[in-house]
Every structure is written in structure tokens, then in C-alpha cells.
Amino acid sequence: MFKALFKRGCLAAAIWMALTGAAMAAVDVNTADATALTSVKGIGPATAKNIIDERTKHGPYKSAADLAERVSGVGAKSVARMQEGGLTIGAKAAPAAAAPAGAAAAQRSAKR
């Protein structure tokens, strides 16, 4: 009986971690639309609009301090909480993964 409860508990924990991991996807403040911004905890529709309006008028945000300074109603503590919720500032796109050398060679020989 204990083993069955333990397995259920492990399964529930795994599902919970998978779901919360998906909810914590990074959202770049410099590229996100209103829908993406409101998916971050602490950003509602009005704040998302203020972020986008300010970004459109004066360009991308350079740092958390820049975001807090430029957006009305958002302070340093709010930005810190938003970052904990998945907001990034100026995140660079990950470079495309290069195909392993062996895979490229296999593709060339397959074409022959």
C-alpha cells in the first residue's frame, strides 16, 4: 500500500513540475506582445500596454532599472517579481544548434 501511495505521489510531483515549468517560460520584454506579457505573473493588461507603448516610443529596455524607471506604475520590486515570474530583459536568442559533424558526413554520403 505504501508503495502505491509513493508512486502516485511521485507521479503527481512529476506532473506538477512539468506544468509549472511550462508556465515559467521566458518572456522577453523587448519583443513580447501584450498576450505574452500578461502571461507573466504581476503583469496585467494595463501594465502590458504601458510597457509596449513606452518600448514603441523610446526603444528597447536596457536593464531592469531602465524598465522600472520608464514604465509608469512599475518599480524595482515589481520588476524583480516579474523576473522571478519569467520576464527577461534583452534576452538574446539561442544560436541555432549545429548538426554534429558525423550527421553532416552521413547526409553527404547518403546523397551519393
Q: How is the chain split into domains, by residue range?
A: 21-92
Report, as an integer, the average pLDDT of 77-94. Answer: 85
Please state, for a pLDDT cut of 90, what percent of the chain lies above it: 57
Residue pair 61/30 in contact (Cβ under 8 Å)? The answer is: yes
Distances (CA, A) of 49 to 19, 29, 38, 73, 107: 27, 12, 10, 12, 48
Query: At 43, is the secondary structure helix, strand, or coil?
Result: coil
Q: Select the more confidently predicted residue: 98 or 50.
A: 50
pLDDT at 83 over 80: yes
Question: What's the pLDDT at 22?
Answer: 45
Q: Which amino acid is at 57?
A: K
**Number of CB atoms found within 10 A of residue 43's CB:** 24
Residue pair 34/48 in contact (Cβ under 8 Å)? The answer is: yes
Question: What's the pLDDT at 25?
Answer: 79
Which CATH class, in words, describes the domain spanning 21-92? mainly alpha
- How many whole angstroms separate alpha carbon 73 and alpha carbon 79? 11
Report, as an integer, the average pLDDT of 47-67. Answer: 97
